[in-house]
Amino acid sequence: ARKIIIDTDPGQDDAFAIMLALGSPEDIEVLGLVAVAGNVPLALTQKNTRMICELAGRPDLKVFAGCDRPLKRKLVTAEHVHGKSGLDGPVLADPVMPLQEQHGVDFIIETLRREPAGTVTLCPLGPLTNIAQAFLQAPDVVARVQEIVLMGGGYFEGGNITPAAEFNIYVDPEAAEIVFRAGVPLVVMPLDVTHKVLTTKARVDGFRAMGTEVGRVAAEWADFFERFDVAKYGSEGGPLHDPTVVAYLIKPELFKGRLINVEIETGSELTLGMTVADWWGVTERAKNAFFVGDVDAQGFFDLLTERLARL
């Protein structure tokens, strides 16, 4: 099984990603989960991460709190998408599993130093603050990362927080720039692919039909999350962004993309946080990211439903 650290800001779609990983022990070993400020402030994302682990029957997992704000900017949140708690929809009990005392960034550094080089994959599902901070604090760990598979950015699909920028990159563009320029093998799940995995009624009914607590809660999360996107995009369901990252680790054959150069805009007010993707290879800039553009959406939902049903 591939060893991963999940870096997250739950977020209903983050919850699906975490549950997909926890339902796939033969493919994925979760070394720990680190919360970051993003969709909602850190006090909520760390609590939500623990609630999700408990829902998945894994109160033994280690959950850490990372950075409570972007490297250089004021935190921008997304309650308009995820609700006040970040996980609005079903009512869940407060978590009882502990929050680890160690800072999440120190956990990332320590884990990369402890595990054999090239055996730990980082899975960021929110702003890239914790990962960038770890690279700034401990440059020696950069070369030890096996791969970073992240959800963020958008190119042909544009942005979802500004016309040009996707939320995770927009919230901490300086952190994103550090990560994209680190020289670590990078796989990017942008809006171009996540806007193709929609929570249609049939798929949400599939969650409900599991007849489990996880299935019921998943369906209610999908329904809440969908409310925003269906109204906004006029689509047949909401995009389930973050679990594409975990699905890629399990079944990369579901996805198609290109190894290209991607740079992050950190200067312009108009296009701040834009992922400028050289999809057509019109520059000589070094190829630093496998930018995913297409997905077998039904294959993705079949995998997600199968693995969630195990929890």
Residues annotated as catalytic (active site), given as ranges:
241
The distance of closest approach from Cβ of residue 101 to ligand BDR in the complex, given in angstroms and rounded to an integer, is 26
Residue 280 DSSP class: T
Structural contact between residues 70 and 174, judged by C-beta atoms closer than 8 angstroms: yes
Residue 14 or 166 with smaller CB distance to Ca ion: 14
Nearest one of 1, 15, 73 to 44, comparing CA atoms: 15
Q: Which does 129 bind (CB under 5 to 8 A by kind): Ca ion, ligand BDR, none?
A: none
- Cβ nearer to Ca ion, comparing 28 with 81: 81
Could you tell me the strand order of the sheet in which 120-124 lies? 63-65, 28-35, 2-8, 120-124, 145-151, 186-189, 289-295, 255-260
- Binding status of residue 166 toward Ca ion by CB under 5 A: no
Choose the one of Ca ion, ligand BDR, none that binds residue 111, judging by a C-beta under 5 to 8 angstroms depending on kind.
Answer: none
Shortest reach from residue 293's CB to ligand BDR, in Å:
16
Residues 152, 17, 43, 88, Cα dihedral to 10°? 100
Stretch that binds Ca ion, among 69-77, 118-126, 184-192, 292-300 (CB under 5 A): 118-126
Q: Which of 32, 86, 89, 126 binds Ca ion (CB under 5 A)?
A: 126
> Which residues, numbered 11-30, are part of the site for Ca ion (CB under 5 A)?
11, 14
Tell me which H or E stretch contains 292.
Answer: strand 289-295
Check: CB of residue 288 under 8 Å from CB of residue 278: no
Least distance in Å: CB of 75 to Ca ion? 14
The residue (of 241 and 307) whose beta carbon lies closer to ligand BDR is 241
Q: Is 104 in the site for Ca ion (CB under 5 A)?
A: no
Pick 36 or 105: Cβ nearer ligand BDR: 36
Q: With binding defined as CB under 5 A, does residue 125 bind Ca ion?
A: yes
Which long-range contacts (C-beta less than 8 Å, at least 24 apart) are formed by 137-143?
137/105, 137/109, 138/109, 138/112, 138/113, 140/113, 141/108, 141/109, 141/112, 141/113, 142/182, 142/183, 142/184, 143/117, 143/183
C-alpha to C-alpha distance for 37 and 289, rounded to whole angstroms: 24
The contact set with ligand BDR (CB under 6 A) reads 11, 13-14, 39, 78, 81, 125-126, 151, 160, 166-168, 241-242
Least CB distance to ligand BDR at residue 66 (A): 15
| Size of site (CB under 5 A) for Ca ion | 6
- Annotate 149-201 with three-state secondary structure: EEECCCCCCCCCCCCCCCHHHHHCHHHHHHHHCCCCCEEEECHHHHCCCECCH
Closer residue to Ca ion (CB): 9 or 278: 9
| Shortest reach from residue 302's CB to ligand BDR, in Å | 22
Instruction: Give CA–CA dist 186/149, Å, rounded.
Output: 6
Residue (166 or 172) nearer to ligand BDR, CB? 166
Question: Least distance from C-beta 117 to ligand BDR, angstroms?
Answer: 28
Residues in contact with Ca ion by CB under 5 A are: 9, 11, 14, 125-126, 242
